[in-house]
Amino acid sequence: MKRLMLPLALAVSGCNSEPSATEPAPRPTATEAVLPADSRLSQPPKVIPLPKDQAELDRMILAGYTPHTDHLHPPGVKSCPLTQGGEAVM
């Protein structure tokens, strides 16, 4: 019984210790090291060609896409990158 008390006491005291300061910091993954935080988020294209099917066009307009001359803009796009003066998208 006395032989079991010493290893048991050492095991319990080892579990309560705080991690040492000599442990290295976790290394960033390859994507975190190369890409800034903003570029990891996917961005929708700013210009989408008009679909040939009228039903598809109607569904896209109901989903929030904005028709503009010969293309569509996804929701949230406020200016057209194809126009020289930055014409506003309505």
Compare 47 and 24 and report the one with higher pLDDT.
47
User: Residue ranges per domain, the chain?
Assistant: 43-90
The pLDDT, as a whole number, for residue 12 is 72
pLDDT digits (tens, 9 = 90+) for 26-67: 666 655 556 555 555 666 677 888 989 999 999 999 999 888
Q: Which residues pair with 66 in a beta bridge?
A: 73
The pLDDT, as a whole number, for residue 4 is 77
Percent pLDDT > 90 in the chain is: 13
Q: Could you count the other beta carbons within 10 Å of the beta carbon of residue 66?
A: 17
List, edge to edge, every strand of the sheet that includes 66-68: 48-49, 71-73, 66-68
Task: Please tell me the pTM assigned to this model.
Answer: 0.46
Helix residue ranges, H only, the chain? 2-15, 30-34, 54-62
Cβ(73)–Cβ(82) under 8 Å? no
